Chain A
Amino acid sequence: MTQPFIGFEKVSKVFGALTVVDQLDLAIHEGEFVSMLGPSGSGKTTILMMLAGFEAPSSGKISVAGRQVDQLPPHKRNMGVVFQNYALFPHMSVADNIAFPLSMRGVAKAESDQRVRRALDMVQLGALSDRRPSQLSGGQQQRVALARALVFEPQVVLMDEPLGALDKKLREQMQLDIRDLHRRLGLTIVFVTHDQSEALTMSDRIAVFNRGKIEQIGTPNEIYDHPATRFVAEFIGETNLIHATAEAADGEVSRVVLANGQSLSVGRKALKPGEQVCLSVRPERIKPSGTQENRIAGTVRDVVYHGDHLRLIVDAAGQTVVLRSERSEAAPTIGDGIEMSFSPRDCWVVAR
Chain B
Amino acid sequence: MSRRRRLPVSLALIAPLGLFLLIFFAAPLYTMMSAAVSDPIASRALPGVGSALASWDGSAAPGPDAQAVFARDIRSIEDDQLFGDLVRRLNSAKPGFRTLMSKTRTALREDLKANDLVAIDERWSDPAYWQAVKTATASTFTDRNLLAAVDLERSPAGDIQAMPAGISANRTTLARTFVVSLLVTIACLLIGFPYAMIAASVEGWKRQLLLGAVLLPLWTSLLVRTAAWFILLQDNGLINSALMALGLSSGPVPLIFNRTGVVIAMTHVLLPFMVLPIFSVLIGIPKNLMPAAASLGAAPIRAFWKVLLPLSMRGVVSGSLLVFMSALGYYITPALIGGAQDQMISSVIAYYATGAANWAMAGALGIVLLAATIILYTLYLRLASDQQVQP
Contacts and interface: CB of A to CB of B under 8 A. Distances in A.
B291 A54 contact: yes
A90 B311 contact: yes
Given A54-B291, A83-B292, A100 B390 contact: no
A77 B306 CA distance: 20
Interface of B is mostly: helix
Given A83-B288, A89-B307, A90-B311, A74 B302 contact: no
Given A90-B311, A91-B311, A100-B306, A84 B295 contact: no
Contacts of B390: 90, 132, 134-135
Contacts of B294: 53-54, 73-75
Interface in B304-353: 306-307, 310-311
A54 B292 CA distance: 10
Interface in A256-286: none
Contact of A134 (B288, B292, B307, B391): B391
A125 B120 CA distance: 94
Residue from the set B286, B294, B297, B300 with the largest chain A CB neighbour count within 10 Å: B297
A190 B43 CA distance: 89
Contacts of B389: 90-91, 132
A149 B288 CA distance: 14
Contacts of B292: 81, 83, 87-89
Contact of B310 (A74, A75, A91, A149): A91
Contact of A101 (B288, B296, B299): B296
B297 A105 contact: yes
A238 B89 CA distance: 98
A148 B291 contact: no
A70 B265 CA distance: 47
Given A100-B306, A134-B390, A152 B286 contact: no
Nearest to B387: A91
Contacts of A313: none
Contacts of A148: 296
Residue from the set A73, A77, A80, A90 with the largest chain B CB neighbour count within 10 Å: A90
Contact of B296 (A73, A90, A134, A152): A152
B306 to A, nearest CB: 7
B293 A100 contact: yes
Nearest to B391: A134
Residue from the set B289, B296, B299, B391 with the largest chain A CB neighbour count within 10 Å: B296
B298 interface: yes
Nearest to B292: A87
A74 B295 contact: yes
A155 interface: no
> Which of the four size classes fits the interface of chain A?
20 to 34
A134 B389 CA distance: 9
Given A85-B288, A91-B310, A100 B298 contact: yes
A79 interface: yes
A104 B296 contact: yes
Given A89-B307, A91-B311, A134-B390, A83 B296 contact: no
Contacts of A175: none
Interface in A41-69: 52-54
A320 interface: no
Interface in A214-266: none
A344 B235 CA distance: 94
A47 to B, nearest CB: 15
A53 B296 CA distance: 12
B203 to A, nearest CB: 14
Interface in A89-137: 89-91, 100-101, 104-105, 132, 134-135
Contacts of B295: 52-53, 74-75, 77, 79-81, 149, 158
B291 A87 contact: yes
B306 A87 contact: no
A78 interface: yes
A75 B299 contact: yes
Contacts of B286: 85, 87
A81 B307 CA distance: 17
Contact of B298 (A90, A104, A158): A104
A49 to B, nearest CB: 8
Contact of B289 (A73, A89, A132, A152): A89
Contacts of B306: 100
A281 B310 CA distance: 57
Contacts of B297: 75-76, 78, 101, 104-105, 152
Nearest to B303: A75
A244 B289 CA distance: 52
Nearest to A106: B297
A100 B296 contact: yes
A73 B303 CA distance: 13
A84 B287 CA distance: 11
Given A75-B297, A87-B286, A91-B310, A104 B302 contact: yes
A84 B288 contact: yes
Contact of B288 (A73, A78, A87): A87
Nearest to B311: A91
Interface in B90-143: none
A79 B391 CA distance: 30
Contacts of B296: 75, 80, 100-101, 104, 148-149, 152
Interface string B168-186: 0000000000000000000
9 contacts: A52-B295, A74-B294, A75-B294, A75-B303, A77-B295, A88-B292, A90-B390, A100-B293, A149-B296
Please provide the 10 A-B residue pairs with the shortest distance between their CB atoms, ordered closest to farther: A87-B292, A101-B296, A104-B297, A81-B295, A74-B294, A87-B288, A75-B294, A83-B288, A132-B390, A134-B390
Interface of A: 52-54, 73-81, 83-85, 87-91, 100-101, 104-105, 132, 134-135, 148-149, 152, 158
Given A75-B303, A90-B390, 12 more contacts: A54-B294, A75-B293, A75-B294, A75-B297, A76-B297, A84-B288, A89-B307, A89-B311, A90-B311, A90-B389, A100-B293, A100-B306
